[in-house]
Chain A
């Protein structure tokens, strides 16, 4: 887990001595890869297996180096494949390896963002990896953070910016945390109380009180972004209040807040009970934005690499299953009971299938209202960091790319995705646009200074 190779980037023959302190350990990975049907991640995995095999067959580094020099890496790989079916071994790697710990606790907040983490328990995705996982419902984000840092939870469902904040020591002591997988993309919405049903224009929202789930959340950043784009200063013109998602509907009913940018099923629940209406889906602000993340401390990943890998595989397989619209109804039923989300099945179905009541008498359909794509793009982290700086959560110089790479483990995700039979992307960064404004991850500072309303 320590050396992170970038999938898809392969070294040319002859240049390998400069890319590794011990070329014999890198071995075959420095060779141009044969153009097979394998995706980047699978190729990477295969290369690793080949290296391990070679190391097992010729344990001494000098001998191995001499052997590679004499026959060439590709020939060696072919020779290996002759008497050892490497592809089968790749599968075996994806399955076996003794687990350091089988009984795990994974914390979650009862919202549909946690769908892959939760459903993996009742639908047997953890059990398939030989893990016995208790998914434990938790009262709020700060409690999830503390319990994960206390090691009461081995891993947890967190908001995507939280592991970045924890790693940087914002709002807690600094502990290196990682995001080996994003849970969901999209799936949030701005919901307003029905008493504001004629106040559709955000420019008229001055003085309203909004709830956000946590300071370090994309909900906070997206709502601030949305308000600022409409000319409202989120710190001056409205009040933003942190309320854990499960308490939001009750607060909206009690008139403590006028609306919220909240995760689903919370938004749909407000509609279901005739309290609020859906103003804007978060998808309309930034289509494909990450929301929640599967987070684990770096210590867990390094101390129990096999368990960590197995957990990640289970989760990614669950994500892949959840990403198929045909499975969504079954998932809604699986996660509705009191042991998991404790919410009406109708509400969950509306969220997951994307055919939903908007709270104003209309039925809308949007199959991408929420979807599941585990790949933790490093550019997501860079965007989050720009917003942290924009709103004054971090000050001074920020090592955007460095933090993104350290926290958002695109490579680990790619490996687990390949093992789950998915095709991981071959790059770790991509550009996207938020409310029509393009974001270039290589130019975070320029992006930041282009905003009019900011605290930085």
Chain B
């Protein structure tokens, strides 16, 4: 019987996952030698020191902890201790706000740059200089001028999400086939109508690719930004647990960050597929 490609890929995926978990389990199972200590002293020490337990948690530890988080994702024990669900919610909200503002700015600006060779030449130096700046380098400046840490975090998302969208929009708009524009012009279609009925649909796949890259970057940046500013969000959660040297929780957070990032990406991939057209 011939097994389909998808099924075979799934089998390989599962096998790889099991190998990974197994190796992880074996690597963290052992205990190293410990120095002899008096019971009185041992009582004051942690398990890493007394039993030589690896500081790296095994898959079982992580699984147990993860189950605990999944059972209570929305608890609220005060300003510094909230459930994983609430923290993710804060991060997603920040990313979406920053990202939507970036969309609102990048798309019109991208059309302008893409349609006007003059503006393209004039704005190019600014875009080229601002584009490679690490978003976190903006953080001190943002904190100083905006004087509000959560708005600063949103600003950082905005500033990092804007460039791929801007550049892709400009590129997409500029490379719409000249024949189509010429046809529109021959039919005496007005500028606005031309933008919305000819250029936008034609450039949409490129624009959405830019938007997809942007959301990925925005999600990468929020974690780092929240580790800096603190307060709420999944980045703060990672930082807080790192302080407590709780690698278990850090691993769980990493897993969650990956899952949410994938979800964002998949949503935009779907939308891209909707607007793609065969030529």
Contacts and interface: CB of A to CB of B under 8 A. Distances in A.
Interface of A: 110, 121, 134-139, 143, 146-147, 150-152, 246-247, 249-250, 253, 269, 271-274, 337-340, 342-344, 346, 350, 355-357, 361-363
B77 A138 contact: no
A363 B40 contact: yes
Nearest to A340: B80
B240 A135 contact: no
Given A152-B149, A273-B48, A274-B48, A338 B77 contact: yes
A339 B77 contact: yes
A272 B46 contact: yes
B49 A247 contact: no
B46 A273 contact: yes
B46 A274 contact: yes
B243 interface: yes
Contacts of B244: 338, 342-343
B124 interface: no
Contact of A250 (B44, B149, B245): B245
B49 A272 contact: yes
Interface residues of B, number: 34
B257 to A, nearest CB: 18
Contact of A139 (B40, B45, B229): B229
A348 B55 CA distance: 20
B71 to A, nearest CB: 16
Contacts of B245: 249-250, 253, 269, 273
Which 8 residue pairs across A and B have the least CB separation, nearest first? A274-B49, A339-B81, A246-B243, A357-B44, A338-B81, A339-B78, A150-B147, A139-B230
Contacts of A143: 143, 149, 228-230
Contacts of B49: 272-274
Contacts of A110: 243
Contact of A338 (B41, B149, B231, B240): B240
A272 B44 CA distance: 7
Contact of B46 (A137, A138, A338, A344): A344
A357 B44 CA distance: 6
9 contacts: A135-B79, A139-B239, A143-B228, A152-B149, A247-B242, A253-B55, A357-B41, A361-B41, A363-B44
B148 interface: yes
Nearest to B231: A136
A250 B80 CA distance: 21
Contacts of A356: 44
B181 interface: no
B227 interface: yes
A151 B37 CA distance: 50
Nearest to A142: B140
A139 to B, nearest CB: 4
B35 A361 contact: yes
B41 A362 contact: yes
Contacts of A339: 77-81
Contacts of B229: 139, 143
Contact of B80 (A137, A147, A355): A137
Nearest to B247: A250
B240 A342 contact: yes
B144 interface: yes
Nearest to A139: B230
A357 B45 contact: yes
Nearest to B232: A136
B38 interface: yes
A139 B46 CA distance: 25
Contacts of B228: 139, 143
Interface in B190-237: 227-231
Contacts of B37: 361
A273 B240 CA distance: 17
Nearest to B146: A150
B82 to A, nearest CB: 9
Contacts of A134: 78-79
Contact of A273 (B35, B55, B148): B55
Nearest to A350: B44
A286 B134 CA distance: 43
Nearest to B37: A361
A362 B143 CA distance: 46
Given A246-B239, A272-B46, A337-B77, 4 more contacts: A247-B242, A272-B44, A273-B46, A363-B41
A150 B148 contact: yes
A337 B81 contact: yes
Contacts of B48: 273-274
Contacts of A121: 78
A146 B144 contact: yes
Contacts of A246: 239, 242-243
A139 B226 CA distance: 9
B187 to A, nearest CB: 56
Which among B37, B49, B80, B144 has the greatest number of chain A C-beta atoms within 10 A? B80
Interface in B74-100: 77-81
Nearest to B78: A339
B230 A137 contact: yes
Contacts of A346: 43-44, 46
Interface in B48-89: 48-49, 55, 77-81
A250 B239 CA distance: 11
A249 B149 CA distance: 26
Nearest to B77: A339
A145 to B, nearest CB: 10
A331 B228 CA distance: 29
A273 B53 CA distance: 10
Nearest to B239: A139
A247 B244 CA distance: 9
Contacts of A273: 46, 48-49, 55, 245
A272 B43 CA distance: 10
A110 B245 CA distance: 13
Contacts of B149: 143, 146-147, 150, 152
B80 A338 contact: yes
A342 B80 CA distance: 10
Nearest to B237: A338
Interface in B231-272: 231, 239-245
Given A273-B245, A274-B46, A338-B240, A138 B230 contact: yes
Contacts of A362: 41
B54 to A, nearest CB: 12
A356 B43 CA distance: 10
A361 B34 CA distance: 12
